[in-house]
């Protein structure tokens, strides 16, 4: 069992402008947390590091469950990231929007599913890689 | 040497619609204005079929159907978001950007002038296309007028391949001598016909016009245009929005409004929005006009046009003051028994808030200003009209008609595109 000792910490109030809150307590101590105030964690900003070139899409189907992407998940698709072999991408195949893993096999590029029972698609003139999936978001309870 | 660029999105609204709906690629597409009234954007296919800007959709409906033209209601939520992305994409390529309209921006390219500006502009187009899928054209010249003209040339003439640089004398002469004077930025129809009377048919001829003659014929504007066509800047890239003389918030109703309560609700919204616009520009208004009228095109129906102009004293940017004035105006002008189809609130006599003439007995202006700031913050954060005054009899029975509006693909979680994992 670890024991916990409380010490008196020498404390010197410093006059400094608070960024977020104005402490108007007329007497007493300024909040010791005031100087260390930071913005709340913004998961959106972490998921979407390049908002001007990123688009959110909703996944429908099960062909990428092997990559950990499920039906109903939200993905962040970047159009500024350079697609590389090994990336999960959104591609337009004959005008339909589909998500697969981009793989180089020999001379050719393929769109490869990650679940049993789905076919790989060869990248040809009817296929356009639209963007790279850079992040995934899922809620377990609404 | 000054280098001004103008980047312009090709068929912007149609291109935005196509970005997320591939079924629209390669087919004729028309985007209709608010309330599905008129054609405000056309794909190249629709242009080829003879659909013109401003054509009323209901008048050309048969022709549209016959040729399989897809009509989309305007989706300003989407266009606004795409514009924001485009502005971000061009940011690396210009030292200053002046937004001219939702799909056009002037760029100061002077610091990049020692490079190959055509390559530079192509780099910018590639970045915009990559981030947003939206195709663009770029015009470059020593003045804004020439940049605008270069852009039109880049769009029309395939030899430019999307970028026309008119800083070179020979290229400029070639383009100006073939450019109809009526298409020059700032030359109106009346001026064009006056110029035609003098045998001036091309931009090149306008450039060679005597300055004194230009002043005599047109206005200072025409004289400045001649100077700009000669490469002498009459307007530097202006990043400050010019002060506005007046502003208006008006809408057509999706279905006619016949009761005072519903009209009041709509007008209240317009007044709130007008106040928000005023404050965002740091202006106060001295005059408010509220109007509402029946459909003027249905002459066989009973017609009424109600309108009241009210003086705001002291001048104000306070939404609640505007709202109160608008309500007084509606009450005074209201007449029962008509089907009203359009209403609006207009503000005039605008001055910068700090130049506002003070009056005695103003009340607690500071306190009201804080309330307005809070109101704008709430509405900015949680969506327009989250916070509204509890106006009696607020009713939201009216909304603009938009029968075939695309989803808010990029800004609403419930509307994001679906990608098939199949």
| pLDDT tens, residue by residue, B193-223 | 999 999 999 999 999 999 888 888 866 778 8
A7 to chain B, closest Cα gap in Å: 43
Nearest to B171 by CA among B153, B194, B188, B189: B153
Is the CB of A134 inside 8 Å of chain B's CB atoms?
no
Residue B347 has a pLDDT of: 87
**CB of A77 less than 8 A from some CB of B:** yes
The per-residue pLDDT for range B357-401, each reduced to its tens digit, is 666 555 666 667 777 777 777 666 555 555 656 553 344 445 556
What residues in chain A have per-residue pLDDT under 70? 1-35
| Among candidates A51, A62, A79 on the partner chain, residue whose Cβ is nearest the Cβ of B130 | A79
**A78 CB near a chain B CB, below 8 Å?**
no
Return the number of CB contacts < 8 Å for A and B: 77
- The reported pLDDT for the residue numbered B370 is 74
Q: What ipTM describes this predicted complex?
A: 0.77
Does residue B420 belong to the interface with chain A, where contact is any CB pair within 8 Å? Answer: yes
Residues of B with catalytic roles: 104
Cβ-based neighbours of A10, under 8 Å, separated by 6 or more: none
Please tell me which of the candidates A58, A64, A92 has its beta carbon nearest to residue B418.
A58
* A85 in catalytic set: no
Per-residue model confidence (pLDDT) at position B385: 55
Ranges in chain B, pLDDT < 70: 218-219, 235-245, 357-367, 378-401
pTM, to two decimals: 0.69
Decide if B23 and A96 are in contact by the 8 Å CB cutoff: no
Sheet holding B70-73, edge to edge: B39-42, B29-32, B70-73
């Amino acid at each position: 069992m670890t024991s916990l000792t409380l010490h008196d910490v020498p404390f010197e109030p410093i006059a400094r402008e608070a960024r977020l809150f104005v402490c108007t307590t007329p007497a007493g101590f300024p909040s010791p947390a005031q100087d260390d105030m930071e913005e709340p964690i913004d998961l959106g900003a972490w998921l979407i590091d390049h908002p001007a070139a990123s688009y959110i899409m909703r996944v429908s189907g099960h062909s990428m469950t092997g990559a950990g992407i499920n039906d109903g998940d939200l993905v962040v698709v970047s159009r500024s990231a350079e697609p590389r072999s090994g990336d999960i991408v959104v591609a337009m195949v004959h005008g339909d929007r589909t998500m697969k893993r981009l793989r180089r096999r020999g001379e050719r590029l393929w769109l490869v599913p990650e679940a049993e029972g789905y076919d790989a698609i060869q990248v040809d003139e009817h296929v356009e890689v639209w963007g790279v999936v850079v992040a995934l978001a899922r809620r377990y309870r609404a | 040497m000054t280098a001004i660029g103008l980047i312009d999105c090709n068929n912007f609204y149609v291109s935005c619609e196509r970005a997320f709906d591939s079924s629209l690629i390669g087919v004729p597409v028309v985007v209709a204005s608010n309330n599905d009234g008129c054609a405000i954007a056309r794909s190249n296919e629709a242009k080829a079929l003879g659909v013109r800007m401003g054509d009323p959709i209901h008048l050309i409906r048969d022709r549209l159907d016959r040729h399989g033209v897809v009509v989309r209601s305007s989706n300003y939520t989407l266009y606004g978001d795409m514009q924001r992305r485009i502005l971000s994409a061009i940011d690396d390529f210009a030292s200053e950007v002046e937004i001219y309209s939702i799909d056009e921006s002037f760029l100061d390219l002077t610091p990049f002038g020692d490079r190959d500006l055509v390559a530079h502009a192509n780099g910018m187009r590639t970045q915009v296309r990559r981030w947003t899928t939206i195709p663009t054209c770029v015009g470059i010249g020593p003045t804004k007028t020439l940049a605008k003209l270069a852009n039109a040339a880049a769009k029309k003439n395939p030899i430019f391949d999307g970028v026309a640089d008119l800083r070179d004398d020979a290229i400029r002469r070639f383009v100006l001598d073939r450019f109809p004077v009526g298409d020059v930025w700032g030359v109106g129809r009346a001026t064009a016909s006056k110029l035609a009377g003098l045998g001036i048919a091309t931009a090149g001829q306008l450039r060679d016009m005597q300055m004194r003659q230009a002043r005599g014929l047109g206005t200072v504007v025409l004289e400045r245009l001649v100077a700009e066509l000669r490469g002498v800047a009459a307007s530097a890239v202006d990043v400050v929005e010019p002060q506005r003389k007046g502003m208006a918030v008006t809408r057509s109703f999706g279905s006619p409004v016949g009761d005072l309560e519903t009209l009041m609700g709509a007008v209240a919204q317009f007044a709130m929005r007008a106040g928000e616009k005023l404050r965002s520009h740091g202006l106060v208004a001295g005059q408010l006009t509220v109007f509402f009228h029946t459909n003027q095109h249905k002459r066989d129906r009973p017609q009424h046009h109600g309108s009241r102009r009210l003086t705001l004293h002291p001048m104000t940017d306070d939404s609640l003051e505007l709202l109160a004035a608008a309500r007084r105006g509606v009450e005074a002008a209201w007449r029962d028994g008509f089907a009203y189809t359009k209403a609006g609130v207009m503000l005039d006599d605008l001055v910068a808030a700090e130049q506002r003439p003070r009056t005695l007995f103003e009340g607690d202006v500071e306190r009201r200003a804080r309330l307005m700031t809070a109101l704008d913050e709430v509405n900015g954060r949680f969506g327009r009209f989250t916070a509204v005054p509890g106006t009696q009899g607020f009713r939201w029975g009216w909304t603009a008609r938009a029968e075939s509006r695309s989803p808010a693909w990029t800004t609403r979680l419930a509307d994001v595109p679906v990608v098939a994992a199949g």
